[in-house]
Structure 1
């Protein structure tokens, strides 16, 4: 039964993380004057508009993955380079906020229960909710961190593109078609799992430290 709960918690966390990540990209672009996300149906909290099959499976299995990129048109921005950085950062920042709120409510549960979550009708519900919040924190931190890697189609490549001189960026983007292959190789051979897990664990512990200080748990 515990494994069933874990699968359900992971699935919910993945859907929430991906949906709000992509919605944030679209919303930031839309607020910067770009109608493309709205026209393509990406200003939506319907997860099925945002899922990339392979990226979702990777996120479920190894907790690192990606979603279907939101189409944007930087020509609508007053400052295209700055706009692209803000749009690219929108998704990961949203994930980090969700992780923060998830850990905060985990702390609230511990505060209210005195850290003694017991089995029983209400206890089972609290245990499930606590586990779900924990998975939300882990998945959102993982998705946010992973997407900052500068490999297409991840957000980090768009941030890098806005920083690089235009001629160097075009040279870099010649390899865009190999992006998915590079991501699969990274995930398949665990090339970055250890450093990514270290970053994720460090951020998780850092958020817990802040929440513990605020709530006194």
Structure 2
């Protein structure tokens, strides 16, 4: 369990922090200064840490031996009144988070491949090389899971907000009414095993491919 914690904690922290920063940055570019004014566009983890999402949830998943490890951070506040087109722009802000995670997964994958370079292996001690490989493998997996999980079309997840932003107006209003029940729906999906059954095979297939580089 300790090895799993050491392997997962740093990449998870980076993934959830940059996910939220991306939301704040996108909102700022679309005219909303709220995140910037509240000091949320920062890499300081104390500004983003959430007791349940950042600590308890991933901790429970690690203890349970789940192949799917993910978490979150405090949502960055967004004020859609600043946007020219609130419904559409909220969808763009929501999309920025998962896109950031997929970009991070790609970066980790490229860096992982570079570790197999004989020049890198020559200059980096084996212990450090192994630790870096472990972090990068988990960086790919965690960012992939976080991006896919957040695209579930359930408000208030990013996928739900994207759906509300692009559905026809009547359907969008009906879908937005799910938001008060969204957390309960996500918890039900999580503990019923639906999310693990859906994302687990993706994680396992990706992990088998990545382990060739360790």
Instruction: Tell me the TM-score normalised to structure 2 length.
Output: 0.83
Number of the residue aligned with 1:15: 13
Shift of 1:77: 2.3
Determine if the alignment matches structure 1 residue 76 to structure 2 residue 88. no
RMSD, matched Cα: 2.6
Give the match for residue 95 of structure 1: 101
Unpaired runs of 5+ in structure 2?
A: 62-67
Secondary structure at 2:125 match in 1:
helix
Figure out how many residues of one structure are paired with residues of the other and give that number.
201
CA distance in 2, matches of 1:165, 1:51: 35
1:136 is aligned to 139
**Cα deviation, residue 122, structure 1:** 1.2
Which of 146, 150, 159 is residue 147 of structure 1 equivalent to? 150
**Structure-to-structure mapping, 1:83-122, within 5 angstroms:** 83-112=89-118, 122=125
The 3-state SS of whatever aligns with 1:192 is helix
C-alpha contact 1:5 1:128 (8 A) present in aligned 2: no
Q: CA deviation at 1:173?
A: 2.5
Give the aligned partner of residue 33 of structure 2: 35
Q: Which runs of 5+ in 1 are unaligned?
A: 213-217
How far, CA to CA, are the matches of 2:4 and 2:155 in structure 1?
Answer: 31
Q: Identify if the C-alpha distance between structure 1 residues 33 and 14 changes in structure 2 by more than 3 Å, giving closer, same or farther.
A: same
**Residue 124 (1) aligns with residue 136 (2):** no
Aligned partner of 1:55 in structure 2 is 53
